[in-house]
Amino acid sequence: MLIPNCLFRVGGAAVLLSNKSCDRRRAKYKLLHVVRTHRGADDKAFRCVYQEQDDAGKTGVSLSKDLMAIAGDALKTNITTLGPLVLPISEQLLFFATLVGRKLLNMKIKPYIPDFKLAFEHFCIHAGGRAVIDELEKNLQLSKEHVEASRMTLHRFGNTSSSSIWYELAYTEAKGRMRKGHRVWQIAFGSGFKCNSAVWQALRNVKPSPKSPWLDCIDGYPVAIPCMKKFSGKERKEKGNERIGNSISMLVTVFEVFWVMVNSQKLLCSALGPGPRGSPAVLSTVPPSLRLQETPRFQSLFR
């Protein structure tokens, strides 16, 4: 349980909602749509993220190996439900035409992925990890700017689970990017298993909050985050061979150092003993590869 506990960080957010028309002049956003996908009826989905005790009696969050598959299925259902509510008619027609071609006409064409960038100006993606953001960026064909708030939130606050979407909204506000009429898509995951979406529309140009969690560091963001390179099977094999070669090389170096240490006293005594040429004559009998001053690996080891 200690490992899953290290994946999460404590975070929280609170939002004040009102359905009174008189509060409209004070409100920053208007809630347009809420789509909730709950898979609790499925036992695998219900227990894929589950709080329990391990064999040592430590309470923590247990993550099932089926988590990614269940999350992907819930996300697909949620997006399919949300699409008709927010996408332009042109995107819906393209999606429907592709679906008919694949299912009824057996056409070998790729499924059409609607362009959600036409429906939203800002995206707040559950910052549950780098892989979550990467996959949504890839599958929804988002730009680096669209996922900037999610990546920077993960960098600054870690995995705060579903509350991360509010840190991301605060990031957008702190950058001064929220304008009147802009639409925001918040999408988050939770145990159960749940996938929820909320669509907001800004009622005015939103200024940075004086109590924003980004107040003391927003000028330093965004920061550059190194990319993780994925190796193919052949590359992994080559890397493994390289590590083995390095290990063998180090082993040889250690042996050379050990040989020099063991024989140094004998060499020193022989060098100081009687002889026509003294120490140079004795040192010349040492194999060249084992001479201290001519061993590159030994020199690099202590450089």
pLDDT of residue 255: 54
Kindly tell me if the per-residue pLDDT of 201 is higher than 90. Answer: yes
Question: 266 in helix, strand or coil?
Answer: helix
Question: In this predicted model, which residue has the larger pLDDT, 205 or 4?
Answer: 205
Banded model confidence at residue 206, pLDDT cuts 50, 70, 90: very high
pLDDT of residue 106: 80
CB contact burial 135-161 (16+ within 10 A = b; e otherwise): bbbeebebeeebbbbbbbbbebbbbbb
Kindly tell me if the per-residue pLDDT of 158 is higher than 60. Answer: yes
pLDDT of residue 247: 53
pLDDT of residue 289: 45
Strand ranges inside 191-246, DSSP E:
194-202
What value does the mean pLDDT take over residues 195-199?
Answer: 95
* Average pLDDT of the residues of the chain: 79
What value does the mean pLDDT take over residues 50-62?
Answer: 80
pLDDT of residue 230: 60
pLDDT of residue 293: 46
How does pLDDT run across 268-299, given as a tens digit for each residue? 455 445 544 444 444 444 444 444 444 444 44
Question: In this predicted model, which residue has the larger pLDDT, 10 or 244?
Answer: 10
What is the H or E stretch that residue 122 is in?
strand 122-125
Give Rg (Cα) of the chain: 31
Kindly tell me if the per-residue pLDDT of 167 is higher than 90. Answer: yes
pLDDT of residue 294: 43
pLDDT of residue 290: 43
Across 86-90, 103-107, 224-228, the highest mean pLDDT is recorded for 86-90
| Tokens 């996908």, residue located | 37
Question: 172 in helix, strand or coil?
Answer: helix
Banded model confidence at residue 3, pLDDT cuts 50, 70, 90: low
Range name among 51-60, 63-72, 293-302 with the lowest pLDDT average: 293-302
How does pLDDT run across 115-126, given as a tens digit for each residue? 999 999 999 999
Kindly tell me if the per-residue pLDDT of 266 is higher than 50. Answer: yes
Strands 183-190 and 122-125 come out as: parallel
Range name among 52-56, 69-73, 122-126 with the lowest pLDDT average: 52-56
pLDDT of residue 302: 40
Residues 205, 33 contacting (CB under 8 angstroms): no
Residue 267 corresponds to which tokens in the numbers above?
Answer: 């060499």
Residues 71, 193 contacting (CB under 8 angstroms): yes
Range name among 107-116, 167-176, 284-293 with the lowest pLDDT average: 284-293
